[in-house]
A and B are shown apart, each in its own frame.
Chain A
Amino acid sequence: MARIGVFICHCGTNIGGVVDVARVVESARDLPQVVFVDDNKYTCSEPGQASVRDAIVENNLDKVVIGSCSPRMHERTFRNTVASAGLNPYMLEIANLREHCSWVHGHDKEEATAKAIELIRMAVAKVSRHEALFPKEAGITKRALVIGGGVAGIQASLDIANAGYEVVLVEREPTIGGRMAQLDKTFPTLDCSACILAPKMVDVGQHPNITLRTYAEVKKVNGFVGNFDVEILQRAKKVDHTKCTGCGTCWDKCPEKVDSKFDLGLGKRTAIYIPFPQAVPPKPVVDTDHCRYIKYLKFTEEGGEGKAPPQCRICEKMCPSQAIDWSQEDEVITEKFGAIVVATGFKTFDHTAYEEFGGGRYPDVITSLQLERLMSAAGPTGGEVVRPSDGAHPKTVVFISCVGSRDRQKQRSYCSKVCCMYMAKHAIMLKEHDPDVQCYIFYIDIRAGGKDFDEFAVRAQEEYGALYLRGRVSKIYPEGKKLIVLGEDSLMGRPVEIPADLVVLATGIEPSDGAAEVAQTLNISYDTHHFFVEAHVKLRPVETQMDGILLAGCCIGPRDIPESVAQGGAAASKVTDLFSQESLITDPMVAAIDPAKCSGCLLCVELCPFNAIEPGTTRDGRTIAVVNESLCKGCGLCTAGCRCGAANLRGFTQQQLLAEVASLWQ
């Protein structure tokens, strides 16, 4: 027989102004196993809590019901109150007499009071079946994994490393730097992008707490917050980076030329290469798809017909440090981490989908990122903005906004946020490169919401003579050496035809290739566009639904550099929060499976959305299901689905819930 105490809170007039608290108190006295009933003006206050505590002690209560506001407000408070009186904090049930009662039935006090009486009855029935619950402790591996070496990932790595923890930064490309490394200048300050990024990149490369794994990918993730087991695929670089000094002889001498991905097809690189001069690590990798020696090896291995291709191996012969190592193979490395930051970044929309713009067939129709490469002094043309077709300097440049954005037809209804600003930047930069150039910008709206952003866009027009035309472009076609652009100035309501030398398309932002696979590996949510989903769009912008996995940067959605940097820092702080704890306290209100009842059908394993249930064996070799309490979020799906009644959710057991329901008929 329990000794239940019931405490009804007036909550000022929030509850008391609608519900007749005195009647609720009276009716509670008659409930089974209730030995003490009291009411209070503000139970959550110091005196309020004290009175509850005293009542528990004086009346030897072992279970408590509090009729008050929503548990979302004060569950933790009242659990502490109950605990301070010497009881297990889970011997408490809260009946929501405010959000579920007085606040929604304020117009009918009779109904509200009747409902409050029933809510208390249900709570008493439930709490009578409560058992003591004890949170468990789990250890935390205080090492962080950062996936993605763009500016967001770089910032996160540095912040976590500076806080004194080990970080492994995994990046798919041979260098870190991401998209920001490809930019020439950044708006609105027109800082040189590489100049502001390179110091951070070097810091990452040299930081004692950061292990940089480039040319690597995360393949598998198991485990839970504080205890992730991760398999990383380190691709073979064919270069021993411990010996390599980055002298550059090999890529100087390599005879094989390949289209440079970094320069977006506008320039070439060699088969052994670093993507750009300030790469970190500044040491090359061998592109085994294009290396002549690798081709030769494949040929001899597969016993090809005809003449064998040349062996080459020039890099090996020329390397002063004997750093070329053909014996390197792809390696799988397994490591443990306590937290993971995902910063996989973005790529740009493939504009060849717009056939009306040439479908990629016109070399002088380029993307904005390609223009950045042309403008960059380290780019394929040494900073000369020239037409890809004939190398001439363009005098008339037309910019087109929203290519692959705000376009339902191309399944990209969203706005990519940064394009209006970078088009203004491009107009300014082009005028600086060549005072004779005239820029035309076709826009629909100008989105310039950040600090000094609007002034920047206005400057492009006032000081740099960019002509903004409001309207979309319908078609581009070549005529002689020019590209005829057919658009409309909707403000004058007239069609516009411009013979351009160069057309730059502001292509939209979308998640990097393979984003969906990364999300599935980590078991985090992603939307129709493959952007990763935050735990709460407004209040938890860098967290996911999976504890211990954080997000930063454009993998979440289109955003600007300062936002990505801020989010890198925010994600880092969540990680250091976690790591500053000694151990993880796990919520005891999780599922438990009774091995005696479990039939081993493993339906719950399928049902669990958090992969928290695994098959296990009893000592006598029978298959059963076992809950990983650290992963379990207490959603109850297994409990609902279990056919044998073996699964039960602690704190919301089937017996407790049925008692609540049954109490309504008493």
Chain B
Amino acid sequence: MEEESGQSIFQCYQCGKCTAGCPVSYAMDLTPRQIMRAIQLGLKDDVLSSSAIWVCLSCQTCSARCPIEIDIARVLETLRHQAVREKVKPGDKHIETFQRIFLGLIENRGRVHELELGVRYNVASKDPLAHSSLAVGMLKKGKITKIRPGRVKGASEIKELFRKVRSLEARAASQEPGEKSD
């Protein structure tokens, strides 16, 4: 994990400033400090299946204040990528669903249309009428100007980029069967 994230994880002396400043640490099963400790102790499963790595907002408050200058947000991000790669069940289903749909829209449309994003998310989370007051409000105020999502010229290019990246990653994964080093 030190190598992949480029951070000196073993220098963390568990002072807790990251957790103290993290706006969402209250909503995490493992706090940022505990994540760092868990990595130090090699508790891979605990870490990759935690909700913490998904709830993290990447607001960088922890990294900005860490006295050892460890980029903790980067560590959590690297863990999240690893969890995705290894297909670990996400610690927060809603957040992962949302981001996955979002990314899918970027891949297919090039630009993201919010109404479509909202509708697809509601369907996927089996709650079709969630945030409906918000949606109505936005429509009323003209904040959602086009009901039908349009196509962008660059969309096909984006799709191709996604395809290329995905195939490169698949190739890399098959070349190294088993787990990547932590």
Instruction: Give me the interface of A with B, judged by CB distance under 8 Å.
Output: 356, 402, 406-410, 444, 470-475, 486-490, 493-496
Please, how many angstroms separate the alpha-carbon atoms of A471 and B15 in the complex?
A: 5
Ordered by A's residue number, 17 sampled pairs between the chains whose C-beta atoms are within 8 Å are A407-B67, A408-B69, A409-B66, A470-B16, A471-B17, A472-B17, A472-B20, A486-B20, A488-B16, A488-B20, A489-B16, A490-B14, A490-B15, A490-B16, A493-B34, A495-B26, A495-B31
Contact of A493 among B15, B31, B66, B68 (CB under 8 A): B31
Question: In the complex, what distance in Å separates the CA atom of A402 from the CA atom of B17?
Answer: 12
The 7 A-B pairs of least Cβ separation, nearest first, read: A474-B21, A471-B16, A474-B20, A472-B17, A488-B16, A407-B67, A472-B15
Asked whether, in the complex, the Cβ of B19 is within 8 Å of the Cβ of A408, the reply is: no
User: Which of A356, A410, A495 touches B19 (beta carbons < 8 Å)?
Assistant: A495
What residues of A have a CB within 8 angstroms of the CB of B26 in the complex?
495
Instruction: Determine whether B65 belongs to the interface, using a CB cutoff of 8 Å to chain A.
Output: yes
Q: Is residue B60 within 8 Å, beta carbon to beta carbon, of the partner chain?
A: no
Whether B25 is near chain A, meaning CB under 8 Å from some CB there, is: yes
B6-44 CB mask vs A (1 if < 8 Å, else 0) is: 000000011111111110011000010110000000000
Interface pair B15/A444, CB less than 8 Å apart: yes
Contact B34 A410 (CB under 8 A): no
Q: Which residues of A contact B15 (CB under 8 A)?
A: 402, 406, 444, 471-472, 490
Whether B78 sits at the interface, judged by CB under 8 Å, is no
**Neighbour of A356 across the interface among B18, B21, B31, B69, CB < 8 A:** B21
- The answer to whether B67 and A490 have CB atoms under 8 Å apart is no
The complex places the Cα of A222 from the Cα of B31 at a distance, in Å, of 59
- A488-B31, A488-B33 given; A356·B65 CB < 8 A: yes
Q: Mark B36-69, 1 if CB is under 8 A from A, else 0.
A: 0000000000000000000000000100011111
On chain B, the residues within 8 Å of A406 by CB distance are 13, 15, 67
- Chain A residue numbers with a CB within 8 Å of B16 are 470-472, 487-490
Q: How far in angstroms is the closest Cβ of chain B from A489?
A: 8
How far is B16's CA from A470's CA once the two chains are assembled, in angstroms? 8
Question: B61 contacts A474, CB within 8 Å?
Answer: yes
User: What is the total number of residues of chain B having a CB less than 8 Å from a CB of chain A?
Assistant: 21
**Minimum Cβ distance to chain B for residue A97 (Å):** 45
A472-B67, A487-B16 known; 18 new pairs, CB 8 Å cut-off, are A356-B65, A406-B13, A408-B67, A409-B66, A444-B14, A471-B15, A471-B17, A471-B20, A472-B16, A474-B22, A474-B61, A488-B20, A488-B25, A490-B14, A490-B16, A493-B31, A495-B20, A496-B20
Which of A407, A475, A495 interacts with B25 by CB under 8 Å?
A495
B69 touches A474 (CB 8 A): no
Minimum CB–CB distance from A413 to chain B (whole Å) comes to 9
B65-80: contact bitstring with A at CB < 8 Å (1 yes, 0 no)? 1111100000000000
Cβ distance A651 to chain B, nearest Cβ, rounded Å: 48
B67 touches A474 (CB 8 A): no
Q: Of A356, A444, A488, A489, which is in contact with the most chain B CB atoms at under 10 Å from its CB?
A: A488
What is the CB-to-nearest-CB distance from B30 to chain A, in angstroms, rounded to a whole number? 8
Instruction: Output the nearest chain B residue to A405 by Cβ-Cβ distance.
Output: B67
Within 8 Å CB of A444, what residues of B? Answer: 13-15
CB-defined contacts of B17 to chain A, threshold 8 Å: 471-474, 488
| B19: A residues at CB distance < 8 A | 471, 474, 488, 490, 495
Least distance between A659 CB and chain B CB atoms (Å): 53
Q: B33: which A residues are within 8 A, CB to CB?
A: 471, 488, 490, 493
Of listed A406, A470, A474, A490, residue having the most chain B CB within 10 A:
A474
Selected contact of B20 from candidates A402, A408, A410, A473, CB within 8 Å: A473
Complex contacts, A474 vs chain B, CB 8 Å: 17-22, 61, 65
B14 proximity list for chain A (CB < 8 A): 444, 490
Chain A residue at minimal CB-CB distance from B20: A474
- For B21, list chain A residues within 8 Å (CB): 356, 474-475, 486
Distance A490 CA – B18 CA, assembled complex (angstroms): 11
Alpha-carbon distance between A474 and B32 when the two chains are bound, in angstroms = 13
**How far, in whole Å, are A470 and B17 apart by their CA atoms in the complex?**
10
CB nearest to A475 among chain B residues: B21
- The winner among B16, B18, B21, B25 for most chain A CB atoms within 10 A is B16
Shortest distance in angstroms between B40's beta carbon and chain A's nearest beta carbon?
14
Q: Are A408 and B34 in contact (CB under 8 A)?
A: no
What's the Cα separation between A406 and B15 when bound, in Å? Answer: 10
- Interface hub of B61, B65, B69 (most chain A Cβ within 10 A): B65
B55 to chain A, nearest CB (A): 14
Q: Which residues of B contact A402 (CB under 8 A)?
A: 15, 67
CA–CA, A356 and B21, complex, Å: 10
B67 near A409 with CB under 8 A, answer: yes
- The answer to whether B31 and A408 have CB atoms under 8 Å apart is no
- Expressed in whole angstroms, the Cα–Cα distance for A474 and B21 within the complex equals 5
Chain A residues near B61 (CB, 8 Å)? 474
In whole angstroms, what is the CA distance A494 to B20 when docked?
A: 9
Residues in B neighbouring A494, C-beta threshold 8 A = 31
Residue of A nearest to B25 (CB): A495
